[in-house]
Structure 1
């Protein structure tokens, strides 16, 4: 007999939980966590979700200890594509949804590292056709919240895109969006990383050491460029999540081997092999 393992969470914040139940009852997508059921009895509220075996993206990027496994480049790319598809689904639903709290800890991973967005307690329906934004009390997580939302309380669909850009920078660097324990000037990851993200040669200096240099430099730089587009101050100038998904899929298709360190002798050997190529080898343009 097969048993389905489930995760149960208890809450005191009934309004947030009501919001989460309302959204997850109506929304279904491969990259949204599934709500299996809920129970509200004697002031005790339980939500039952599908169990996500690999935990959160936050734990894999920033966790410590022998049980934490560093994510390779292909897995990271799979995760951000999945999360982007989930966010795109929310933004393009018949009743448009603004997620409002996109961050690494809310991206959960199943046994095959499929990413699913969780925690809809802060989600809101998007603006009407005649409006560009909704006005609401500022809530969310410092370091991920879009600047226009923090400053004015104006929440745009593309406020979520800013948070996605922050997560892209975390994926590249393996560093938290905010960390007061980092040296002065590096506490805010986005502010510190921007000059590196825009320079192909400098980017390698901030890439996550957990990757051990095994990543396609061209793809990494393209993701850095995408992150910068997501992080522009003006919401209307950010890409839509549909455009983000399309860009990530294009990056995925780059057929470039992971970067491997090469020594001089290897390069000399490569040149010699070209000079002494077999006369039986076909020349360029000959089939």
Structure 2
């Protein structure tokens, strides 16, 4: 794979003294879909702002398609399209006018055929002469995407692209992102939603308190993060786990009235049904069951705690 974006030792400290980013190292390959996960205030938007030339870094380097984004800003920025989290549009402009204008801002020649195809791909062609203020929130977000793609960038940043949108539009946007990737566009998105990363991303990074604490292939990360807990409320309490349940990692809770099974997303399709069948075979009835999946906040707490423990251990080793 060819790297289209290289970030080295990137840091940002604001005048207030707030350290927003520290020591960010990240390489994104051409044609990759990369999801950046993190809680509010973790540094996701600051990182995007630096790469897109909106925020000035305190240290470090960003190379976009071989162009240093400080020394060769125009060439680097022309390769990037940005769809911000907030909807900022020219409310009184027509859709086709504002998208065409965005293309011109990057010095691209007029290309009515390209603009038409872009609007058709985003289901905006029928709305091309509508003023943006007349559009629904979902349509306005599509306009923001069209503006970001108008100059044919090689990298598209999507900052919380599905925040506040309905399920149908979210699915449409996922399909659009896959289509862009198929055409060679590199997609970098920030999101709060694990299922969004699971649905689309090739790799996933987790950022917390300005540090990139983990980057992994999606499948490995989802297996690690997607822990679920199945709790069975038993009709009769058990004094101990029967030998016939040794194939599952089970725990007794609630003074023997609850059977607890922790599993990951890959085991869900087989592990849970086989457990229920085994309970039936053993004559262990239950009154109720419920499942619970770890929230992103809990996952982040675990990762951050692990990261702090590693740092403490490293400091202790060098003391």
TM-score tier by shorter-chain length is under 0.3
Report which structure shows greater RCO (CA 8 Å, sep ≥6): 2
Q: Which has the higher strand share?
A: 2
Q: Which has the larger radius of gyration?
A: 2
With normalisation by structure 1, the TM-score equals: 0.28
With normalisation by structure 2, the TM-score equals: 0.26
